[in-house]
Homo-oligomer: A and B are copies of this chain.
Amino acid sequence: MDTQLDAVFAALADPTRRAILSLLLEDDMAVTDVAEPFEMSLAAISKHLAILAGAGLISQEKHGRVKWCKLEPYALRAASIWMQGFGQFEPVNLDAFERFLAVELTDDAQDQG
């Protein structure tokens, strides 16, 4: 029924793809650079990127012969909201997470000057 949630959750179910998303969290990257840390062929990474793009989790734009990959975190929103429907977990965790984030962002701002 809901193909979008299917695609997003399936994309997230693979550890290589989650690692790719983590990489892209730091910066936009070319396909070759995304592939570099992984011990698998470029073609395999290319396929993973296609799956991520299919789920809307990244966008890809070709400039010259280089294809840039960009994280699209908003694509996680529907899945996140779906999961919140089950989130009767204590607000403790999210509070802790928000505190973590607050510290992180402050540190980051300081780091980056």
Contacts and interface: CB of A to CB of B under 8 A. Distances in A.
A90 interface: yes
Given A6-B14, A73-B89, A100-B100, 13 more contacts: A9-B13, A12-B83, A22-B94, A25-B94, A73-B87, A73-B88, A77-B93, A80-B84, A80-B87, A81-B97, A83-B83, A93-B107, A93-B108
Interface string A89-102: 11111101100110
Contact of A9 (B12, B82, B85): B12
Given A13-B13, A87-B76, A88-B73, A104 B93 contact: yes
25 contacts: A1-B15, A5-B12, A6-B15, A9-B9, A10-B10, A12-B79, A18-B82, A22-B85, A73-B86, A73-B87, A76-B87, A76-B89, A77-B89, A79-B83, A80-B80, A80-B83, A80-B89, A81-B93, A81-B97, A84-B94, A84-B97, A90-B108, A92-B101, A92-B105, A97-B104
